[in-house]
């Protein structure tokens, strides 16, 4: 009776809070492309693993194939797995007071209630962790218990690689009493699923690790002490916003350190928390506390079994008080109350946010204004405007936007998902948000995408990108690709990447172009990827060289990008003046072409400039630049007056 009531209560909470996060659609874009025959990839042209949870991805893919849609299917799978984990946890409680206390811990954990859904791998992690802990704490032949522990640990790592750290101490503990030969044989056998995936990823994607690991862990370019400081902020934020989760996890882990099998689970939980601090925590409030939280709740069963009925009342009072310290829980307010945080609040919280609240209004199951993304809807609504060729979009909010881009839209993500950009460090190590580290687009990368060729400017990066391009685009078993795969794995191109980082990345060059290449005015609203004449303006700017010194009072230029352009007039290497372009009246074009296409500007040449032989062109970012759908560019330069 108590178990049924507790499961029912948590089911109601799960329905009230049910949502899909924007990040879930990163995986769902790959799922949709795979099911539609475009390959297991995010951008159909590149084999890149953008998801961090292969096991969850496979489950979602089966669900999408079976049901024909992703939103309700993902929620249904999340409900089923989360409630299965809840039921398993409650059935493990040996007494009615323990059942009540366990249910209270789950119900008062804001993070647990929020992430019973979300579209991320957490529900599957819940089930696998409860099974893993039950096996570690259970009885049976040591060899069998060890084998199951290794298998479940590998499945957890296949669901999210960093969970291997949490599982390692308990797995080592299960080796006691197991013959050395059985340790090796069983260990290898039960590790086959994870090893098989690593082998597949290495061959198919060119790397055993998802590209997001490169973006967040392997070369983020942020000092270790700053990441650790951010990790401590994550702990503090969890304590303030979700005290029940924090106290249960930390205090519970310390209690479980007493001699016995729970000690190894506690070691694993504490190691995982230390890892979370080391990598800077995360931007999703409470999410990274959930694996150790579930481990601790599973291990606390024998402690909670000693509670008397009177003790349960005291336990309930303390737990509910901890819940209310963080404010009224969201499941006690109406769905319309879930509104996004403003930018000032996000900054004040050091980039850590209630992710469910940020996306519930559009992606919540019960949200009054729910808008379920449709694969390809962005393409149908905006692009390609009569074209039948691939189009390109710059977008750092790659979840639902990426899903809406469909199969023809190629998204360049400056944060996580691009095969080259994600391998670069932070553009500005002094300005970053956890989980959202902005990178700089290298010179020539936009042209490489547009022309389907290697146009990278820096020679070292050109070689590195050539190898990476071969890995992500050549046929999987092409001989040259396999040779490149081996050289890349052995670090054969690392020096080329390091040379670019040391020479050009933080001190970008000004690229040279002849003015003769920019004399032809283009159609207003032209997209950069439709016209090879458009010169992309990178962070180092352009140097437009004229064949002979120019005397002029005005220039008419065509530019693109949600930014301001600065023009400097140079003669014999000396700058004599500068000006900002002034927009000219635009002919009627579509709203999209107004934002992403070429527009005209008038540039007044300062009186102090008698003549010039070079025009330096730079862009200045504006507050709206973060919403740009493409790169800054220069389409043409026309000299007016002499």
Confidence of residue 627 (pLDDT cuts 50, 70, 90): low
pLDDT reading at 312 higher than 90: no
pLDDT for the residue numbered 168: 96
pLDDT for the residue numbered 409: 81
Task: Give yes or no for a contact between 609 and 628, defined as CB atoms under 8 angstroms apart.
Answer: no
What is the rounded average pLDDT of the residues 66-78? 97
Q: 350 by DSSP, 3-state: which?
A: coil
pLDDT: is 454 or 308 the higher one? 454
Concatenate the DSSP letters of all residues of 56-67 into one string. Answer: HHHHHHHHHHHH
pLDDT for the residue numbered 384: 52
pLDDT for the residue numbered 586: 81
pLDDT reading at 524 higher than 80: yes
pLDDT for the residue numbered 397: 64
pLDDT: is 250 or 405 the higher one? 250
What is the rounded average pLDDT of the residues 609-634? 85
pLDDT for the residue numbered 541: 96
Query: What are 618's strand-pairing partners?
Result: 566
Q: What is the pLDDT of residues 17-36, one digit of tens each?
A: 999 999 999 999 999 999 99
What is the rounded average pLDDT of the residues 486-505? 96
pLDDT reading at 229 higher than 90: yes
Closest listed residue to residue 428, CA positions, set 416, 417, 440, 442: 440
**Whether domain 511-640 has CATH 3.30.70:** no
Closest listed residue to residue 557, CA positions, set 514, 598, 593: 598
Task: Give yes or no for a contact between 280 and 237, defined as CB atoms under 8 angstroms apart.
Answer: no
Phi then psi for residue 601, to 5 deg, are: -140, 150
pLDDT for the residue numbered 286: 95
pLDDT: is 596 or 143 the higher one? 143
Domain ranges of the chain: 2-335, 511-640
Least confident span in 14-18, 235-239, 595-599: 595-599
Separation of alpha carbons 548 and 546, rounded Å: 5
Phi then psi for residue 546, to 5 deg, are: -95, 150
Q: What is the pLDDT of residues 151-200, one digit of tens each?
A: 999 999 999 999 999 999 999 999 999 999 999 999 999 999 999 999 99
What integer best gives the mean pLDDT of the chain?
91
């Amino acid at each position: 009776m108590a178990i049924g009531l507790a499961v029912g209560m948590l089911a109601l909470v799960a329905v009230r809070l049910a949502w899909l996060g924007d990040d879930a659609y990163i995986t769902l874009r790959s799922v949709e492309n795979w099911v539609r025959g475009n390959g297991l990839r995010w951008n159909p042209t590149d084999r890149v693993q953008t998801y961090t949870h292969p096991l969850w991805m496979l489950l979602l893919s089966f669900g999408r194939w079976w049901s024909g849609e992703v939103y309700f299917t993902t929620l249904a799978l999340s409900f089923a797995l989360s409630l299965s984990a809840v039921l398993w946890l409650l059935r493990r409680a040996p007494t009615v007071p323990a059942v009540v206390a366990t249910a209270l811990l789950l119900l008062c954990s804001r993070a647990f209630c929020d992430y019973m859904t979300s579209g991320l791998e957490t529900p599957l992690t819940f089930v696998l962790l409860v099974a893993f802990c039950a096996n570690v704490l259970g009885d049976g032949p040591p060899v069998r218990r060890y084998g199951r522990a290794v298998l479940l640990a590998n499945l957890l790592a296949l669901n999210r690689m960093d969970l291997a750290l949490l599982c390692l101490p308990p797995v080592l503990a299960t080796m006691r009493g197991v013959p050395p030969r059985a340790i090796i044989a069983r260990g290898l056998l039960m590790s086959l699923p994870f090893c098989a995936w690593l082998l597949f990823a290495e061959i198919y994607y060119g790397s055993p690790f998802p590209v997001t690991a490169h973006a967040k862990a392997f070369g983020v370019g942020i000092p270790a002490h700053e990441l650790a400081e951010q990790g401590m902020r994550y702990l503090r934020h969890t304590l303030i916003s979700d005290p029940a989760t924090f106290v249960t996890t930390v205090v519970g882990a310390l209690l479980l350190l007493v001699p016995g099998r729970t000690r190894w689970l506690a070691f694993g939980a504490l190691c995982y928390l230390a890892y979370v601090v080391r990598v800077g925590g995360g931007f999703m409030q409470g999410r990274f506390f959930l694996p150790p939280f579930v481990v601790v709740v599973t291990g606390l069963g024998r402690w909670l079994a000693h509670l008397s009925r009177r003790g349960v009342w005291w336990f309930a009072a303390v737990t509910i008080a901890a819940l209310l310290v963080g404010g009224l829980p969201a499941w006690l307010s109406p769905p319309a109350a879930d509104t996004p945080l403003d930018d000032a609040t996000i900054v004040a919280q050091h980039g850590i946010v209630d992710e469910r609240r940020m996306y519930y209004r559009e992606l919540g199951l019960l949200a009054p204004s729910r808008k379920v993304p449709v694969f390809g809807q962005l393409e149908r609504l905006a692009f390609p405007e009569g074209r039948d060729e691939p189009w390109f979009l710059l977008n750092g909010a790659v979840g639902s936007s990426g899903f809406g881009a469909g199969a023809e839209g190629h998204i360049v993500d400056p944060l996580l998902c691009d095969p080259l950009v994600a391998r670069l460090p932070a553009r500005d190590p002094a300005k970053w948000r956890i989980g959202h580290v902005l990178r700089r687009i290298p010179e020539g990368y936009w042209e490489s995408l547009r022309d389907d060729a290697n146009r990278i400017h820096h020679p070292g990066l050109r070689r590195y990108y050539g190898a990476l391009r071969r890995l992500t685009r050549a046929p999987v078993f092409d001989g040259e690709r396999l040779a490149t795969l081996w050289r890349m794995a052995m670090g054969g191109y690392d020096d080329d990447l390091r040379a670019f980082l040391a020479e050009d990345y933080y001190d970008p060059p000004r690229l040279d172009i002849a003015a003769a290449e920019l004399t032809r005015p283009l159609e207003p609203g032209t997209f950069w990827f439709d016209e090879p004449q458009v010169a992309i303006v990178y962070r180092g700017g352009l140097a437009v060289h004229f064949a002979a010194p120019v005397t002029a009072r005005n220039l008419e230029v065509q530019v693109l990008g949600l930014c301001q352009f600065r023009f400097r007039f140079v003669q014999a290497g000396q700058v004599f003046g500068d000006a900002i372009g002034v927009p000219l009246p635009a002919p009627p074009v579509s709203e999209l072409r107004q934002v992403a296409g070429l527009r005209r500007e008038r540039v007044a040449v300062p009186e102090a400039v008698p003549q010039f032989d070079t025009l330096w062109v730079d862009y200045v970012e504006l507050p709206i630049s973060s919403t740009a759908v493409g790169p800054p560019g220069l389409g043409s330069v026309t000299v007016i007056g002499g």
